[in-house]
Each structure stands twice: as C-alpha cells, then as structure tokens.
Structure 1
Amino acid sequence: MSHPMSTAQLVAAREPGFSLPRDLYCGQQALQDDLEQIWYREWLFAAPSCELPKTGNFVTLNVGQYPVIITRGGDGRVRAFHNVCRHRGQRLCPQANGSNPKLVCPYHQWTYDLDGKLLYARDMGEGFDASKYGLKPVHCVDLGGMIFICLAQVPPAVNELAKNLMAYAGPSGIAESKVAFSSTIVEKGNWKLVMENNRECYHCGGSHPSLCRTYSDDPLMTVMEGPNAASPEILSHWDRCDAAKLPSRFVNAPDMQWRMARVPLMDNQESFTMSGKAAVAQRMGTIPWNDAGSLMFYHFPSSWNHFLPDHAIVFRILPISPTETEVTTKWLVHKDAVEGKDYDLQKLTEVWMATNDEDRRVVEENQAGILSPAYQPGPYSPSQEAGVIHFVDWYCGVMSSRLNTAVAAE
C-alpha cells in the first residue's frame, strides 16, 4: 500500500508553471505545514491602525491555533500579545474589537496593563511574583497605518517592506483615516486558492461585471516587470505621478513576496464605483488628483490592498481549515468624512461587496473541482496568470527550503 506523499514531496513534485498537486489544496497535513512554515513565521497584515485610535482600543484575530490581541497603550504605541491569560489559559478577549482601560480576564479577573504587565491577581499567596506572569508578546509593527504582526520568536527582516510601504502609502494618509465599513466572509476554499484567484484577472470579464466598469482586465494594465517596464498607459501615469512626487513605480521584494505600484483606472475614472466617480467627497491624505488610480499593494501570504484618492480598501485572509478561509475587507475613508454627507455607504462598498461574493463563488467551485480524485494540475497562462505564478513560485520556494531544513535538523 502506498503511503501519502509528504508536503515536501508534493512541493518537489510540482511542475513549474502548473497549479499545485491536489493534497496541497485540501490536505490536513499540508495546512499544518503551511501554518508552521509560513503563517507562524512571516509578517502578516493584521489591521489598519485607525481601528485603534485611542488608548485601550483593541482588535483580535486568530492565526491558526493562536488567538492574538492588538491594543493601543497609554503611550500611544500599538502592541500585540497572545490572547491567553497567564493564569489558566482563558482567552482574555473573545470579542473581535472593543475598548478597555485594562485587559481583564473574564474567568478570575486577572488584570493586565495595556503594555502586558500583570497588575492584579487575587489571593495568589505569599511569594507570588506578578512580574513573571505578564502577557506573552507578539512582534508588532505599524507601517504608516498598516499593522503587521509576526508570531515567530525571531521575525524576518521587515525594513525593505517598511521603507517602501511608508513611502508609497504615506500620501494616502491611512493613519488619518477611519473604518467606514467592515465585512468578514468565509470562503469554502483553501487559502492558496483565495490568493491565486486574487492574483489574476483572467476570470474578471466573466465573473466581475461591476469591477470591470473601472478596473481593466487587460493584463497589460496590471502586469509590469520593473519601474520602467510596463504598458505605455502605465508608464505615462508614472511620469505624471513622478512630477507630483507621488511614489508610483513598480517596486517589489526579490522573491515577489510583496509588490506595490500605482496603476490608472480605465478612462481616467476616479474610484471603484458603479459610476466611476469618487465615492467620498473628502479626499484621503495628500494625493493631488481624483484620477490618480489605485496604489496596489499585496503581501504574501495574507493581504492585498487598493489605495485610491477617495478611499482605501484593505483585505486580510486567514486560514481556518484546509478548505475554509476567512476574508476580511475594510473600507477606509478620511477620519473627518461624514456618512450621508461626504459619502453614501452603499455606493462606497457595492463594487467590492459584489466582487468579494463573486470571488467566493469562484473559489468554492474551484475547491469543489479540486476535491475530485480526477483533478490533476493544469498549466497557468504566462501572460494572464503571471501573478499566480509569482505566488505559487514564492510558496513552493519557501516551503521547500523550510521543510528540507526541518528534515535535515532532525
């Protein structure tokens, strides 16, 4: 009887330019390996910092088996901790977000300061040293309004990402925004299928009628090979942005883990709306024109984002099971923009609410087909699916080196 292939063997068996072997999209062992080698080791986009405007504001999320809480301290700093009481392990905060002057465990009222120090633990007897029972920290950085966390003991270097993201997203004023609307859905598909679907617009014409009113599904409008290699429309857009000192040219990590570029919308349209006009009267940050296009930023494994002149949309994915992924979308507007006066919530959100639901259906049907034993990997289009190839090559490169290192260490 043949033994199932290990994740390392499945990755090694993958043919370049083709989709992945079946078990990498639906196997429990593959998900566990993904969590241990990627999700527990990489920087992950967690939340926009504008969700935590005041001391005591917090947000929570689950990364695999790890519940995490992010909070803003009295010193203005954003910190992240394992959302686990040091007494008997109760989850400190079950809510998705909220505000508390202190972090109080609901079980026995152990009380922590916002910097993680244990302040109060009743009747613990003589010799109890509260300084040994502070909350366990999680690495946390605020990059110009985008909060990233890393569960690793020693996180990977973040300086290149930090430098570029703060320069490129700076003019969008993300830190000076607010969340106008938040949506969380569960897609019944593997996290890699969710990311693959996002990385191409080969499917857009057939699946996204509302998005395609403003966002071109022509790969020449999104595929670029460097700061001076793109379609004439993009190059002329970059020249215009350069003259206004608006960072826009393509920049990326050497392994394509992240990339950023500002691309024009079709026909000088202003925003992802049904009309193509700005959804919000009050412009974000310091972007000089309504038709500055979208600053597109993705970061593997967990996020893609659009920063427009009038609003920003940030997306976060988190794996739940081999065939379930949580997708959270937040629409950000200028912090002083008033709903009903400066923007209509339906007009602001309807294009991406529809697009997210269309993508959910596509991913779920993709997963349903891959669950069939008849599935075998098929070839990607080198022009239409270059972004998918970047993602799958990144995934296979990371998994191969880390799993082989882990085997060698045993």
Structure 2
Amino acid sequence: MDPISPTTLDDPLDPAREAVVAMLAERERNFSLPQAFYNDARLFALDMQEIFGKEWLFAGMTCEIPAKGNYMTLQVGDNPVILVRGDGGSIHAFHNVCRHRGSRLCVSDKGKVAKLVCPYHQWTYELDGRLLFAGSDMGENFDLSAYGLKPIHVRTGGGFIFISLAEQPPALDDFLLTLEHYLEPYEMGNLKVAVESNIVEQANWKLVLENNRECYHCNGSHPELLNSLQEFDDTDDPRATPAYKALVAQKQSDWDEQQIPWQLKRFGKRNRLTRTPLLDGVVSMTMDGKPACSKLMGRLTSPDMGSLRILHLPNSWNHFMGDHAIVFRVLPLGPQETLVTTKWLVHKDAVEGVDYKPEEMRRVWDATNAQDKRLAEENQRGINSKAYQPGPYSETYEFGVIDFIDWYSERMQENLGHSAPHLQVVKG
C-alpha cells in the first residue's frame, strides 16, 4: 500500500474537481446552480479549499483590536485564525495553532495579552509570531527561530481587516485604496462595536449570499427593513422611479458639498461600493427612520448620509450611515450550515443608554436576519428535494445574484486550473 501523503489525502476529491469544472462549464447562465453545489459534502469541501481557502475574506474591523495585545479569533472551515495588534499599530494574522503539538493558542473570541501563550504546555510567542519560550526540556540545541507561528496574509483598508489562507492571494490594492477614500469621513479608528449577533442558518453559504444579493423578496418578507431601505441603489436600475432619481440628484449634491464620496465603484464582480439615499425623510435603518445614535461618526456633520453599501465576495455586505454602521460576515460551517455575524458600529465615545440604545439600534436588522434565515432554510429544504432543478433568475430583479454566481463560477474554475477533462453531466 502506498504511504499516506497530503496528495494521497486529496485524491478522494479529484472526481469532484472534474465534475465541478464540467458542470460549471456547461451550466446555463442566469440559472441557479445544480443541486450538488448547495448540499454535497465533496463540493462543500472544494468550496472551502478553492474559495474560502484562496480568496480574500472579510475577518473583522480594526477597531475591534484597537491597542497592542488586543486579539480576536475566527474559524475558517477547519482552520482556526487569530488576529492580533502588535508593535506600531501593526496587525498580524496567524494560524491559531501552537507549533509544539498543535493546540489552539487563543480559545476566546477576543481578549488582550502581553504575549501569546499556549494553554497546553506554555510555549510562548511574541505578538509578531516569534517563539520566545519552549521550556528547558526541548534541549540546549533547540532552535526557537524555526518554530514561529505560521502567518496568514492580512491586509487592511478603511477599517476593514481581510485575510487570505492562500500562498499567493489575488490582488486587492485598488479596492483597499477605494475603501480608505470612501470611509475617510468616518474616521474608522474612532469607532467601536456597540452590539453583535451571531446566527446559524441551516443553509448553504451560497444561498445566504444569493438571498442577500436581491431584494426581489423584500416586499413580501421585510416590512421592518422597508421602513428605511430603497429596494434599488442605482439610477440605471430599470425599476428606478423618477422620484428616486430626483432624490439621488439632490442628495448627491448635498454630499458633494460635504466632500462625501458617493460614486458607484466596481472591482469586477467581487467588490462594489455605492452611496444611495434611504427613503425620503429617513436618515437611519431604524424603525422610525431617525438616528439610532445621537453622536455621529467621524467628521460627519449630518445624519443624512443615506447608506454607503459595500459588497465583498465571498463573505460580506455592509451599510454605513451617518449615525452608525452595520457590517456582516458569512462563514460556512458545513454543506448546509452557515454562520452569519452582524456587528453594529458607533463612535467610540458614544455612551450606551445615553447616546444609543442597543435594542433600538438592532431591531430592524434582527428582524431582517431572522426573516432571511427562514427564507434561506426553506430554500435549502426545497433544493434538497429530488424535484429540484436549476431555475431562471430575473435579470431585472436578480442581476446581483447573477453577478455572484458568475463570480463564484469564474473563481472556482480559475482556482481549479481549468484542467479537468470534459465529463458528461446529466441536466434536470
């Protein structure tokens, strides 16, 4: 029998790689994906290897680790990750794995430390990942420098932290520069997380993203959200009304006077930024449309900033208003299980109970998240049926979903190397 190696362990997925490339090459564009993409364990493993293992992922906000020694952790598939603030304001990302016997170093979601110390055998690491102490029992010739923590690519822009588990991640510079420009008015270093929620949806991560990328379902499902949100954010949208276009022109003039960026920016299909008005007379995503926080963010002088919408595929969408911001992070847990984290940000000097009430601030999106959870889970239950076959998207209402599925298909094929032989795929 051949010895087991990493290559050998990859072999069980080889037929899945071939099938994925074939199915994506033959899929009918503007249709949902074949069933296996939403519920098959082998395809989920490929998603984790080729998308979440190679693309840039939104991990958290720089304001969550404001000072030296602050850290936060997250889990990307089987890979525990730690983000820590080091000397000079630098942010490091490491595999949260001790180089001794592989135990997790940091077991809390967040905290503050002087050094990173493994709770198992007390191996001790500097905040930049260098191994400082391994005990005397390793022998006098033990080379500490050979056992530093394994780093992960990390980049920041506009207060966002992105990580990539890839050896050579894709380019991100242009998007980060644009984030810096668009979020400059918010002075992102002066924000804090006011409240956070975590919900687990019993649905494939792609269904969670698909649901987010359209508002076709909003009228029938999101009464709280539609107290403030426009169903579209682009005057070129075929559904855009004359009243919406007039409101946009008025608000864009106001934002220009305040030197607030608003132009629609796209970076392929991965990233999208645009500032768009909320409903006329509404300034925040609250039940009454009024500010949730009386202390505005950054250098903003008016709460009437509309919503700066920021998309980052594969795992984040965001809304920045004048008084507070809402950031979302998606992390797959299994073929039909997804963690959705929502964080509400306010000025760091805002006082809970005085400047804002968390329960009022979160009410709209708590309701919306619960509604989206139900929608995604019912979508998953239907897709699991033997009756499911790919169905057509509306190019008018679901163009965002089409863009997401196109991006996913392109990245999967490119990351898999386009090298699989043609396989016959039974459709329908």
2:258 matched residue in structure 1: 244
TM-score between the two structures when normalised by the length of structure 2: 0.90
Which sits farther off after the overlay, 171-180 or 294-303?
Answer: 171-180
2:359 matched residue in structure 1: 346
1:128 matched residue in structure 2: 142
**What amino acid is aligned across from residue 54 of structure 1 in structure 2?**
A
Call closer, same or farther: CA 1:94–1:372 in 2, change over 3 Å.
Answer: same
1:301 matched residue in structure 2: 314
Instruction: Write the deviation string for residues 25-45 of structure 1: whole angstroms up to 9, x where unpaired.
Output: 111121111122111111111
Counterpart-to-counterpart distance in 2, 1:89 and 1:395: 33
Give percent identity, aligned residues only: 50
Instruction: Write the deviation string for residues 282-337 of structure 1: whole angstroms up to 9, x where unpaired.
Output: 00112232111000001000100001100011100011111111101110000000
2:285 matched residue in structure 1: 272
**What amino acid is aligned across from residue 170 of structure 2 in structure 1?**
P
Equivalent pair of 2:303/2:323 in contact (CA under 8 Å): yes
Segments of 5+ residues of structure 2 without an aligned counterpart are 1-14, 422-428
Shift of 1:232: 4.2
2:270 matched residue in structure 1: 257
Are 2:90 and 1:69 equivalent residues in the alignment?
Answer: no
Counterpart-to-counterpart distance in 2, 1:224 and 1:281: 36
Are 2:193 and 1:193 equivalent residues in the alignment?
Answer: no
Counterpart-to-counterpart distance in 2, 1:223 and 1:371: 33
Equivalent pair of 1:144/1:175 in contact (CA under 8 Å): no
1:151 matched residue in structure 2: 165
**What amino acid is aligned across from residue 103 of structure 2 in structure 1?**
Q
1:203 matched residue in structure 2: 217
Equivalent pair of 1:219/1:384 in contact (CA under 8 Å): no
Counterpart-to-counterpart distance in 2, 1:302 and 1:256: 13
**1:289 match: secondary structure:** coil
**What amino acid is aligned across from residue 117 of structure 1 in structure 2?**
R
Equivalent pair of 2:234/2:276 in contact (CA under 8 Å): no
**What amino acid is aligned across from residue 144 of structure 2 in structure 1?**
A
Equivalent pair of 2:62/2:161 in contact (CA under 8 Å): yes
Counterpart-to-counterpart distance in 2, 1:155 and 1:213: 40
Counterpart-to-counterpart distance in 1, 2:130 and 2:236: 47
Moved over 4 A (4+): 218-225
**What amino acid is aligned across from residue 22 of structure 2 in structure 1?**
Q
Counterpart-to-counterpart distance in 1, 2:389 and 2:115: 53
Counterpart-to-counterpart distance in 1, 2:53 and 2:92: 17
Call closer, same or farther: CA 1:94–1:222 in 2, change over 3 Å.
Answer: farther
Counterpart-to-counterpart distance in 1, 2:238 and 2:48: 31
Instruction: Write the deviation string for residues 351-384 of structure 1: whole angstroms up to 9, x where unpaired.
Output: 1111111100100000000000100111111111
**What amino acid is aligned across from residue 351 of structure 2 in structure 1?**
V
Shift of 1:106: 0.8
Equivalent pair of 1:25/1:193 in contact (CA under 8 Å): yes
Counterpart-to-counterpart distance in 1, 2:233 and 2:346: 29
Call closer, same or farther: CA 1:72–1:325 in 2, change over 3 Å.
Answer: same
Instruction: Write the deviation string for residues 42-71 of structure 1: whole angstroms up to 9, x where unpaired.
Output: 111101111101211111111112110000
**What amino acid is aligned across from residue 180 of structure 1 in structure 2?**
A
Counterpart-to-counterpart distance in 1, 2:104 and 2:378: 35
**What amino acid is aligned across from residue 208 of structure 1 in structure 2?**
H
TM-score between the two structures when normalised by the length of structure 1: 0.94
**What amino acid is aligned across from residue 344 of structure 2 in structure 1?**
W
**What amino acid is aligned across from residue 342 of structure 1 in structure 2?**
D
Equivalent pair of 1:224/1:250 in contact (CA under 8 Å): no
Equivalent pair of 1:172/1:308 in contact (CA under 8 Å): no
Counterpart-to-counterpart distance in 2, 1:21 and 1:237: 42
Counterpart-to-counterpart distance in 2, 1:219 and 1:15: 27
Counterpart-to-counterpart distance in 2, 1:105 and 1:271: 44
Call closer, same or farther: CA 1:208–1:84 in 2, change over 3 Å.
Answer: same
Segments of 5+ residues of structure 1 without an aligned counterpart are none
1:95 matched residue in structure 2: 108
Shift of 1:222: 9.0
Counterpart-to-counterpart distance in 1, 2:42 and 2:321: 39
Counterpart-to-counterpart distance in 2, 1:252 and 1:219: 13
**2:207 match: secondary structure:** helix
Are 2:98 and 1:51 equivalent residues in the alignment?
Answer: no
Are 2:43 and 1:40 equivalent residues in the alignment?
Answer: no
2:385 matched residue in structure 1: 372
2:174 matched residue in structure 1: 160
Instruction: Write the deviation string for residues 68-118 of structure 1: whole angstroms up to 9, x where unpaired.
Output: 000011332111000000001001112111111111111100000111010
Are 2:410 and 1:387 equivalent residues in the alignment?
Answer: no
Equivalent pair of 2:124/2:134 in contact (CA under 8 Å): yes
Pairs aligned (count):
401
**2:153 match: secondary structure:** strand
**1:75 match: secondary structure:** helix
Counterpart-to-counterpart distance in 1, 2:91 and 2:389: 46
Equivalent pair of 2:274/2:310 in contact (CA under 8 Å): yes
